[in-house]
Structure 1
Amino acid sequence: MASATPKEIARELPPLLRVYTDGSVERFLGSPFVPPTLEDPETLVSSKDVVISENPSISARVFLPKVDHQKKKLPILVYFHGGAFCLESAFSFLHHRYLNIIASEAKALVVSVEYRVAPEHPLPAAYEDSWEALKWVTSHSRNERKDGEAWLIDHGEFTRFYVGGDTSGANIAHNVCLRVGGEALGGVRIAGAVLAFPLFWGSEPVLSEPVEGHEESSPMRVWKFVYPDAPRGIDNPLINPLAPGAPSLATLGSRKLLIFVAGKDDLRERGVWYYDAVKESGWQGDVELVRVEGEEHCFQIYHPQTHNSKGVISRIASFLV
């Protein structure tokens, strides 16, 4: 019997994924999907999946901590998962475990957005999906939706409304904050944004980023792969918030920002650069930078039980007040 003809590679993004000429995609990294849980045995947090839009396909996993809901409502965190815009999911093991912990520690209702990812859905799909999800969540603040999500209506406190994410998800959180600065969310204001190890980049190195190899850097390759038609390429304002013509950071529609950088993360200088730029922009909110030395990119998601990870999670919990 003749062996099957090997599939032909159309393009690839080592070591993350490969696209074949038949349109199929093979992902080499990322954690498996897991179902929601009625009551997580470790955190006692319950979760369920909800549909936000059928066309385009947008959904979310909602996390509800076990607290006395009769006494007071809970802060809301709309979370955008990381994964270079092409990996991971709101339904994947790593983010499910991590947001169970966040919901439990912060006593917050968390909405983890399942946006469409590249290469099947190149950018700007993820940005548009995330904005639609944000509008869907805030539509519950008026308590007028007959088809609404009961956990949001019954337990969500929209005067304590936050957004956040890790790496590419932190990039999305930044961009929705900019968009909120110019578009209404039904009277809901973003109280704060958590940007954990945010993915920003540009054509020129900043601070102490190395000059050699910048053109072949991982963020450069990722951006070209997930948004091949991006106007102005790597200096598109979505990835480079200080690019010529980018919206002023003074217009960020959030009252406070919490930014994390890690000592062994290639994105660390870009996070510091962003923090400095926000401070110098004339923005009227409060911004804090937390440096975690000796750690890798997004360590708190991969190893949430370590001392430094617990410190990050505790700091996020205290931010969501």
Structure 2
Amino acid sequence: MEALEDVRGVLKVFRDGSIFRLDVSHLFIQANEQTEQGGVATKDVILNQNLGLWVRIYLPSVAPDVRLPVMLYFHGGGFCLASPGTTDFHNFSAKLAATAGVMIVSVNYRLAPEHRLPAAYEDCFSALQWLNSGSESETWVRSYADPEKVYLLGDSAGGNIVHQVILRCGKKAKEWIKGAILLQPFFGGEERKRSEVDCVAEAFLSVQLSDAYWRLSLPSDCHADRDHPYCNPLGPRSPDLREVEFPPLLVALGGKDVLRDRGLEYCEELKKMGKEVDVVLFEEEEHAFYALKLHSDSAQQLTQHISRFLHS
């Protein structure tokens, strides 16, 4: 049967609505499994069994009386792929926890197209609510987390989720979140930007693949084009961001990333509105360099930027 959508053979959607997902369990690292990053303990905590909502906690070696900043992490994957246990995201989380001295709580949210947006937003917002008010029963959070220092971190689709979670916080955004970090946030729009036009089809994230992710993840209604508010935060149907109480933001972009120009425009518009936004542009990097090239100079520099942001 012909596939209507084919995401690199990993995910296929057929004309009859059936879905094929390639078994990539060999790329999944279990909690407490040995990783290349020593000194970081991990464990999984179920938040909602029915939804398949769980988090993986990364705890770096720390003295018993030390309280760590907590980073709620939303992984990338175009809303359609991956989990906290996916090798690249797991190793990225473990390394960041160790080098930045932070407890990371990585969220396993529902994936599209089985669960279209806003399912991922709802799951990640629920995880933030749990972290702020319902996590006292979790031993590591109770013993080592600093409740006054909760941050959001998201890469690609996860960066998009960070934006949407902040919107859902309303007036409590600055009360619940000390700061937020968006790594190459996954935004789109009907009008093409220069970085989208210039992007080659062989890129890790091409404009063609980006469009496919949006077709698979946006709500299945007649208004779900790329100017939908979930996709385009600055679009004609999106909420006015001037009234949103954003916490301080750190946004990292890649100079050779298809999402570069949308990220730059997002940051510039927020700055014009008086929001506190620190932008770091890695001119020579493509999409997801921080996870795919974990030990590169750019990835190390990004970790330093994140660490300063957390501990300033």
Q: Same fold (TM over 0.5)?
A: yes
The aligned runs of 1:1-321 (5 Å cut-off) are 8-15=1-8, 17-20=11-14, 21=16, 23-27=18-22, 32-37=27-32, 40=35, 42-70=37-65, 72-140=66-134, 143=136, 148-182=137-171, 184=172, 188-206=175-193, 209-210=196-197, 217-229=208-220, 231-283=223-275, 286-321=276-311
SS in structure 2 of the partner of residue 269 of structure 1? helix
Alignment partners' CA distance in 2, 1:165 and 1:31: 24
Write the distance in 2 (CA, Å) between the matches of 1:260 and 1:30. Answer: 30
Aligned length: 302
In structure 1, distance between residues paired with 2:268 and 2:242: 12
Q: CA deviation at 1:275?
A: 0.6
How has the CA–CA distance of structure 1 residues 91 and 204 changed in structure 2, closer, same or farther, with 3 Å as cutoff?
same
Q: TM-score, normalised by structure 1?
A: 0.86
Residues 253-285 of structure 1, C-alpha deviation per residue, up to 9 Å, x if partnerless?
4421011111111111111011101111233xx
Q: Secondary structure at the match of 1:202?
A: coil
Q: Kindly provide the amino acid, as one letter, of the partner of residue 114 in structure 2.
A: E
Q: Deviations over 1:3-35 (max 9, x none)?
A: xxxxx2453234252134583423498971111
Q: TM-score, normalised by structure 2?
A: 0.88
What's the offset of the Cα at 1:248? 2.5
**Contact 1:9–1:18 (Cα < 8 Å) also in 2:** no
Letter in 2 for 1:295: E
Letter in 2 for 1:223: W
Q: 1:30, 1:249 → 2: CA distance?
A: 40
Work out the percentage of aligned pairs sharing the same amino acid: 34
Conserved in 2, the CA contact under 8 Å of 1:138 and 1:188? no
Q: CA–CA distance in 2 between the matches of 1:197 and 1:279? A: 17
Higher helix proportion, which one? 2
Q: Matched residues in 2 for 1:219 and 1:270: separation?
A: 13
Q: Secondary structure at the match of 1:210?
A: helix
Cα distance, 1:27–1:12 mapped onto 2, change above 3 Å: farther
Contact 1:164 1:173 in 2 (8 A): yes
In structure 1, the gaps of 5 or more residues are 1-7
Aligned equivalents of 2:251 and 2:25: distance in 1? 24
Q: Which runs of 5+ in 2 are unaligned?
A: 201-206
- Work out the CA distance in 1 between the residues paired with 2:273 and 2:196: 22
> How many angstroms apart in 1 are the aligned matches of 2:196 and 2:35?
42
Matched to 1:63, the amino acid is Y
- Cα shift at 1:297: 0.3
Task: Give the Cα separation in 2 of the matches to 1:119 and 1:232.
Answer: 14
